[in-house]
Amino acid sequence: MRTKLHQVGRRLLQALPSVFGVVVISFALTRALPGDPAIYFAGAMADKESIEQVRIALGLDRSWLEQFFIYVGNLFKGDMGLSLSTGQPVLQELLTRLPASLELTFIGLGLAVLLAVPLGILAATHPGSWIDHVCRVLVTAGVSLPTFFTGLFLIYIFYYLLGWAPSPLGRLDILYLSPPTVTGFYTIDSLLARDGETFISSLKQLILPAFTLGLFALAPIARMTRGGMLGALSSDYVRTARANGLARATVLLTYAFRNAALPLLTTLGMVFSFLLGANVLVEKVFSWPGIGSFAIEALVASDYAAVQGFVLTMALLFVVVNLTIDVILTLTDPRVGLDD
């Protein structure tokens, strides 16, 4: 157990270079602006004085190294600058919108995993059957679908034609008030407040965008599950298990799936990365008030501090997700820590 803790500690340490790299790149991005960054950060309406103020605040009159330390120092204080379009600190803007994005992403990912893993297992255990073919078509079609396009046509079918879905405008129908904030996830908060109606309404709003995201994530997960299971099922150790007459369920779950699940977990990290990107597009399609929509508005308004804050936040979020996966892997896979 001690060695496991030691290994988890090592994993945490190994994340430091990633964080450092992420910060360096974000810094480079904020300084890569063509022309005078101060003008960009001060915004279009700024006069000479405020541009100078920004220049000094950002330390643009000093050396690169100094600028970097100022940047890092500001980050430690949670200072990502002010958003020009709202006048609020970027960090605060992002924090209030983050739960909306996370709720959507997690539900989308959850949907995808629930559908894709059984599908992949079934396809692998019945190679050549119709379910295998369905799986293959879904996998190839799934990665070919532009999320913004699927989203739009789900709206067209379920909102415009069938009228089953609510209007694709945000997290809650305008008739309802948002539940008291505990986690920021409306579904959970409304349940905590024992407000069934709000819960149903927020769920209704969630279904289409979450399904759009899920459809996008379905393909890689199903592909990996199928591939991993096929590999495990044809492995020597599964042959041994079968040669010893172990029950079918034991062979499938204890022997094959547990082995296939470990690389799948790693893929899940990659899928999450794609989901965070797709999330931006889906938020725009469904007018979802998350950080993706915020970033797009900021882009349009040339609000650079906000955009770079958004990029950094997403990257840090992804680092945390990867770290979590690594820690889970370290705890479940006995081989981790030996080979790399």
Instruction: Report the site for another protein in 257-276 (rule: CB under 8 A).
Output: 258-259, 262, 272-274, 276
Give me 112's structure tokens: 């995808």
Size of the site for another protein (CB under 8 A): 84
What is the footprint of another protein within residues 168-197 (CB under 8 A)?
A: 168
Give me 259's structure tokens: 């082995």
Taking contact as CB under 8 A, which single stretch among the options 74-82, 95-103, 221-229, 309-317 is the one that binds another protein?
309-317
Shortest distance (Å) from residue 167 CB to another protein: 8
The gap from C-alpha 265 to its chain's centroid, in whole angstroms, comes to 15
**Interaction between residue 300 and another protein (CB under 8 A):** yes
**Interaction between residue 296 and another protein (CB under 8 A):** yes
**Interaction between residue 290 and another protein (CB under 8 A):** no
Backbone angles phi, psi at 82, to 5 degrees: -100, 145
Q: How far apart are CA 340 and CA 85, in angstroms?
A: 47
Taking contact as CB under 8 A, which single stretch among the options 51-59, 67-75, 111-119, 150-158 is the one that binds another protein?
150-158
Shortest distance (Å) from residue 181 CB to another protein: 25
The gap from C-alpha 340 to its chain's centroid, in whole angstroms, comes to 26
- Considering only residues 5, 193, 247, 253, which one is a binding residue for another protein as defined by CB under 8 A? 247
What is the footprint of another protein within residues 25-64 (CB under 8 A)?
A: 25-26, 29-30, 32-34
- Considering only residues 107, 155, 210, 221, which one is a binding residue for another protein as defined by CB under 8 A? 155
Beta bridge partners of 82: 89
Shortest distance (Å) from residue 47 CB to another protein: 24
Exposure on the CB side of residue 211, measured as CA atoms within 13 A: 15
Taking contact as CB under 8 A, which single stretch among the options 24-32, 48-56, 107-115, 178-186 is the one that binds another protein?
24-32
Give me 61's structure tokens: 């009159």
| Exposure b/e, 150-176, CB count within 10 A at least 16 = b | bbeebbeebeeeeeebbebebbbbeeb
Write down the H helix ranges in the chain.
2-31, 37-42, 48-58, 64-76, 90-125, 130-144, 147-155, 186-192, 196-233, 236-243, 248-249, 258-285, 291-300, 304-332
Taking contact as CB under 8 A, which single stretch among the options 81-89, 110-118, 178-186, 304-312 is the one that binds another protein?
304-312
3 state DSSP class of 338: coil
What is the footprint of another protein within residues 63-122 (CB under 8 A)?
A: none
Taking contact as CB under 8 A, which single stretch among the options 67-75, 116-124, 151-159, 183-191 is the one that binds another protein?
151-159
**Interaction between residue 249 and another protein (CB under 8 A):** no
* Of 68 and 159, CB closest to another protein: 159
Shortest distance (Å) from residue 144 CB to another protein: 4
Nearest to 3 by CA among 339, 340, 330: 330
- Considering only residues 50, 85, 235, 266, which one is a binding residue for another protein as defined by CB under 8 A? 235
